Amino acid sequence: MDNNKNIRVGIGFATGRKSFQKVLKTYVYNWKECGLTGKEEVSLNLLVAYDLKYSDTKSTDYTNVNTKILDLVDDSYFIGNTAIQREIDYLKENNIINEEEAQLFFRGGYAAKRNSVLYTAMKNKIDYLIFLDDDEYPIAVTNTRSSVIWGGQQVLSTHLKYIDSADITNGHHCGYISPIPYIKFNDVMTEDDFRQFIEAISNDIINWDNIRSVMNNGGVTYADTKILVNEQAEEVEEVNYSKFISGANLCINLRKSERVLPFYNPPGARGEDTFLSTCLSNRKVLRVPCYAFHDGFSTYNHLMDGVLPTKLKYIQADSEKIATRFYRACIGWIRYKPLLIYITQKESYETKIEEMRKQLQVTLPKICAYFNRKDFMNISKELERYNSNVEKHYNQFIQTQEIWIKINKFLNK
């Protein structure tokens, strides 16, 4: 590690897929092509929090990185259960947190993996931390001609251009962002039925207007050529007490540590980026002009080998794999929506929940019939389960921020 470099950049992955190695290789060579590796004033630091249970992997699937790749970064930190426990013990020995707080902050699902990356970055005096996903690639795809056009994206250097003047910078996404497949409406399920269902489970970003547009493109979101050409950053507007961000293609300014916030998700749910969004009212958040291609159905790994298709496939609701992914996404959304409403619309919480119940009561039988899967009825059960625990989850949400304040102060002594 070269301590003479005055800008320390952290590149964080919270991952559980073997494909992580291939994605990392793509990004590292992207940084080399952009001139960031070996740059005298910039130190690149890799931080990987890995989950062995997600897809039945072993630690070496993440830690055995080719030396040619590691030689292009200045330092690397691999954060598994042993490393996390070591930090928990360290904090407990110094009377910073207790065991219950440690479990909430470092062991509470996907948000905890991000928190462990955030903690490691702060402990090692990282200036800027960018989160990347293991199913996103530094490429943009547009659809303005008879065939799609691909273009490489300088994700890291774009964030570095803007992050010093912001608390958070967030890039754009293209590709298969939505887990909702293309659906041919019929007598079993009409467009109005599906609209009601999406309105019941969605948030202010995952709404019907956005989804209908993506469905018309066969489930594909294309990059906006105006953003690619103009190369201008824009401040993210606050919508319903939230400045919505995504969890990847996301950079956090750690230089002003008191303005850094942690992640939280309800147990068994996702939405850690959405809940961070609700805390950003007095933070400067910029949407920066770079794209990442989201390979949401894991069907375009060959992009990282240089194979660029001229057309992107429609994702149709005609296979068990596609239906299962959609089902899991619906469960994930419904699990975190009660807490999101409780945080942002507490005065009308009961009314909103009752509206959701009625919409699901009408639409879920039709969803089950269309996909020929009775388990979609579990969505109502999950709504009631997370509704009954919403105050507990809200208290955990607040407690996570309080824990972070204590850890943050300790790290900055």
Give mean pLDDT, residues 296-306: 85
List residues bridging with 176 in a β-sheet.
295
**In the block, residue with structure tokens 């200036």:** 127
Instruction: Report the domain count for the chain.
Output: 1
Helix (H) or strand (E) holding 31: helix 20-33
Is residue 55 in some structural domain? yes
- What's the farthest any 2 CA atoms get from each other in the chain? 67
| Structure token pair of residue 49 | 């929090």
In this prediction, residue 217 carries a pLDDT of 82
Of 176 and 318, more confident? 176
User: How would residue 315 be classed by pLDDT, with cut points 50, 70 and 90?
Assistant: confident
Q: Calculate mean pLDDT across residues 356-360.
A: 97
Backbone angles phi, psi at 14, to 5 degrees: -110, 105
Q: Residue 56 falls within a domain, yes or no?
A: yes
pLDDT at residue number 316: 82
Instruction: Find out whether 281 and 165 touch, Cβ atoms under 8 Å.
Output: no
> Residue 265 — pLDDT band, cuts 50, 70, 90?
very high
| Helices and strands per DSSP (H, E), number in the chain | 15, 11
Q: How many residues does the chain have?
A: 413
Q: Which of 108-112, 171-175, 277-281, 309-313 bottoms out in mean pLDDT, i.e. has the lowest?
A: 108-112
- 3 state DSSP class of 73: coil
Tens of pLDDT, residues 35-88: 898 888 999 999 999 998 887 889 999 999 999 999 999 999 999 999 999 999
pLDDT of residue 205: 65
Any domain includes 22: yes
Q: Give the pLDDT score at 4.
A: 55
On the question of pLDDT at 207 being above 80, the answer is: no
Identify whether 334 is part of a domain: no
56 in the Ramachandran plot: left (φ > 0), alpha (ψ -120 to 50) or beta?
left
Distance between CA 49 and CA 269 in Å, rounded?
A: 18
Q: What is the CATH number of the domain that holds 126?
A: 3.90.550.10
7, β-bridge pairs: 42
Domain-embedded: residue 58:
yes
Residue 89 lies in a domain: yes
End-to-end CA separation in angstroms for the chain: 22
Tell me which residue range forms the domain holding 299: 7-178+219-314+393-411
**Nearest by Cα to 39 from 66, 8, 70:** 8
Locate 97 and state its tokens. Answer: 């947190």
The pLDDT of residue 65 = 93
Q: What is the pLDDT of residues 3-46, one digit of tens each?
A: 556 899 999 999 988 888 999 999 999 999 988 988 889 999 99
- Distance between CA 175 and CA 221 in Å, rounded? 5
The per-residue pLDDT for range 142-190, each reduced to its tens digit, is: 998 889 999 999 999 999 999 999 999 999 999 998 888 888 899 999 9
Query: Using CA of residue 314, residue 133, residue 403, residue 258, what is the dihedral sign?
Result: negative
Its sign, for the CA torsion 215, 217, 223, 229, is: negative
The mean-pLDDT minimum among 64-68, 204-208, 261-265 falls in: 204-208
Q: Is residue 403 part of a domain?
A: yes
Query: CA 171, 172, 173 angle in degrees (round to 5)?
Result: 130
The answer on pLDDT for 384 being more than 90 is: yes
Average pLDDT, the chain: 93
Q: Are 363 and 200 in contact (CB under 8 A)?
A: yes
Q: pLDDT tens, 220-237?
A: 999 999 999 988 999 999
Residue 158 lies in a domain: yes
